[in-house]
Structure 1
Amino acid sequence: MEFKIERAKQLKEKPVETKLGFGRHFSDHMLVIDYTEGIGWHDGRIIPYGPIEMDPACMVLHYAQETFEGLKAYRHTDGSIALFRPEINAQRLIKSNERLCMPPVPVDLFLKGIEELVKYEQDWVPKEPRTSLYIRPFCFATESGVGLHPAKKYKFVVILSPVGDYYPEGVNPVKIWVEDEYVRAVKGGTGFAKCGGNYAASIAAQVKAEQNGYTQVLWLDGVHRKYVEEVGTMNVMFLINDTVVTTPLEGSILPGVTRDSIITLLKDWRVTVEERHLSIDELMEAGRTGALKEAFGTGTAAVISPIGELHYKDETVIINDFKTGKLTKKLYDTLTGIQWGRVEDPYHWVKILK
């Protein structure tokens, strides 16, 4: 597919790169591709960033057929621009769409669309340390009609946002509230899919956490409300004694690209990794005794976010004196080093845009 290009009549003033925040600024253009049943994906175009006109009966507004992804473009010191494992995001979007009865976006089309848009908007890829261009691809149903069935028309859209650190704390430890009232997902549901409904359902717990002075929520499983699952916007890992423990992929948590990358690094460093069920009682006991050496979240937005405090019911445990642990820092430095081209990439994870 070749993409038609409509250049914006007036380009935006770019934000100060040292004050980007996260998801507050958007580039001049976006990618849009339409889908019609019987035709497939068609009419790809790069057009000025702006509102999307929708019929009030548009099915996404009523039945939430919507999925999205998140990845980044990085500016290397030689001026080149790199993506990090974008094919994994493409494959995950296919699985998310399948779960919501939406047509798959072929991997080649996903990659070509993103590469063409990023190259066209390359001046928006920031140069300051710890900054990047966040890429948000998303799909949604556009057919008009009130009736519960898979839509026959969709859009695939990609928007771009220059960003800094996801959390105000940067790469310093965050405080985590363990949620035992609400649940995020159950096996057989949409927990493994990256769809907006999962995140909408998590907002109530996030608000509660913030009201109590905590940055994020740690979810427990939806059946027993006993086993650790993931943090609101991240997968999560715990260094207990000399072993890194993380939740297994069994359909209720997101199969994170960063999660997979971290596990690969740990295994290559001969650090024992256990993907197993970890009860909140075992975790809190490890915190009490000091066996819980480090804890951190992993995700594209924050990369690695150290956890310095856990609060569950009426108990609080402090992890590693509320300091970033050595293993956490090594993982952060190595992974971001690969992403920004400062460290050798033996895994061929980085894709340089030509």
Structure 2
Amino acid sequence: MNENDITVNLAPGSKIDSVDFENLTFGNVFTDHMLICDYKNGVWEKPVIKPYEPFLIDPSAKVFHYGQAIFEGMKAYKDENDDVWLFRPDQNYERFNKSATRLAMPEVPENVFMGGLKKLVEIEKAWVKKGKGNSLYIRPFMIATGPGVLAAPALFYRFMIILSPAKSYYSGEVKVLIAEHFSRAANGGIGAAKAAGNYSAQFYPTKLANEQGYQQIIWTDDATHTKLEEAGTMNVFFRINDTLYTAPTSERILDGVTRKSLIDVAKREGINVEVRPVLVSELVEATENGTLQEVFGAGTAAVVNPIVGFSYKEKYYELPKQENSVALFLKEKLNNIQYKLAEDTFGWTVKI
């Protein structure tokens, strides 16, 4: 898609000078512009970049009644030469359309998603601040705008991209509760899709965990609650002795871009990685015999989120303090690729 294929209506001024970039709350501040592209009568209309603002929507829009809503999360980074880079956007694009298919929504053409994304980030380059930890969080999403309360897929949809400047994400010491009753997803369901409803369904059990002093839940399989699957809204890794274990992706587990990137970086660095189901009983046994070294979540917002302990069947297990954390080592290696501080031997970065 070239510039002429996108209608650009620039804001008369920028609010960037009123933003305190040193004290950002994740996902609360948005840039001056957004991208909108509507799907009507079986075709995608011309994308429009316009000032960030609210928009009108019919009260009977199917997103409100039947939850047709999907999204992605990705980031742009600025290097020391003031060049801006995306990280593996092709993976987010592919997953976005897999989510669309699963929710009976139209796939977004590559020229709309990638072309619109690159043009929008180019316009908002000033919002991407230099320095490790700084980034521009990118939120592509699609909702069903078609009216009517008949339980059927909508005929009209809106694809949008909004941008939010972000600082290094740190959530403090994270203690987790291993799920024994609630499930994040089930076989045959939409767990592998990045559907909005997956996240709202997590809020209540996470609220109960918060009330007990835990920040997140490690989700287990819906059938037996014996297999460890995800941590909060992130994929999860376990380091037992010197091997990293993580569950294979499935209908229940999101194919995380950070997850697959960390696996490849670990293998490149000579770290043994096994992708296989990990049992709760294995985790408890490894903690009791001293072989469990680390547990950490992996996702776009934090990249790596170390976990200091977990609770299972009302017993709390503290993890050992690490002198040489593999989690933080891998985070550093991945960040160095994203910020162009190290050679991208994988070809993951895309220049704006």
Written as runs of structure 1 = structure 2, the 5 A alignment for 1:43-54 is: 43-54=46-57
Runs of 4+ in 1 over 4 A off after TM superposition: none
| 1:99 aligned residue | 102
| 1:31 aligned residue | 35
Report if the CA contact (8 A) 1:294-1:325 is conserved.
no
SS class of match (2:45): strand
C-alpha separation in 2, matches of 1:76 and 1:291: 39
CA offsets 1:139-185 (integer angstroms, 9 cap, x no match): 0111000111111110100000001133432xxx4211212221110
C-alpha separation in 2, matches of 1:37 and 1:268: 48
Deviates more, 1:118-127 or 1:91-100: 118-127
Matched, 1:88 2:91: yes
TM-fit CA distance, 1:242: 2.1
| 1:300 aligned residue | 300
TM-fit CA distance, 1:325: 4.5
* Number of residue-to-residue matches in the alignment: 348
1:60 to 58, 63, 66: 63
| 2:342 aligned residue | 343
Report if the CA contact (8 A) 2:35-2:48 is conserved.
yes
Distance 1:268 1:54, change over 3 A: same
Report if the CA contact (8 A) 2:177-2:217 is conserved.
yes
SS class of match (1:140): strand
C-alpha separation in 1, matches of 2:111 and 2:287: 46
- What is the TM-score normalised by the length of structure 2? 0.96
C-alpha separation in 1, matches of 2:222 and 2:80: 45
Report if the CA contact (8 A) 1:96-1:193 is conserved.
yes
Matched, 1:221 2:224: no
Report if the CA contact (8 A) 1:30-1:49 is conserved.
yes
TM-fit CA distance, 1:134: 0.1
C-alpha separation in 1, matches of 2:170 and 2:217: 13
TM-fit CA distance, 1:108: 3.2
C-alpha separation in 1, matches of 2:24 and 2:132: 12
SS class of match (2:22): helix
Matched, 1:116 2:115: no
C-alpha separation in 1, matches of 2:245 and 2:333: 20
CA offsets 1:58-87 (integer angstroms, 9 cap, x no match): 011000011000000001111110000000
| Identical counterparts, % of pairs | 41
Matched, 1:72 2:75: yes
Counterpart AA for 1:51: P
- What is the TM-score normalised by the length of structure 1? 0.95
Counterpart AA for 1:30: M
| Unaligned ranges ≥5, structure 2 | none
Matched, 1:156 2:155: no
Report if the CA contact (8 A) 1:22-1:165 is conserved.
no
CA offsets 1:211-244 (integer angstroms, 9 cap, x no match): 1222211101111111101011110000111221
Distance 1:324 1:53, change over 3 A: farther
Distance 1:273 1:165, change over 3 A: same
SS class of match (2:46): strand
TM-fit CA distance, 1:330: 1.2
Counterpart AA for 2:345: P
C-alpha separation in 2, matches of 1:180 and 1:16: 42
TM-fit CA distance, 1:22: 0.7
Matched, 1:197 2:197: yes
What is the alpha-carbon root mean square deviation over aligned residues? 1.4
Deviates more, 1:139-148 or 1:2-11: 2-11
SS class of match (1:282): helix
Matched, 1:279 2:283: no
| 2:268 aligned residue | 268
Deviates more, 1:222-231 or 1:324-333: 324-333
Report if the CA contact (8 A) 2:79-2:131 is conserved.
no
Report if the CA contact (8 A) 1:14-1:124 is conserved.
no
TM-fit CA distance, 1:326: 2.4
CA offsets 1:106-131 (integer angstroms, 9 cap, x no match): 23321111100000111111224311
| Unaligned ranges ≥5, structure 1 | none
C-alpha separation in 1, matches of 2:343 and 2:164: 27
Counterpart AA for 2:180: D
Counterpart AA for 1:248: P
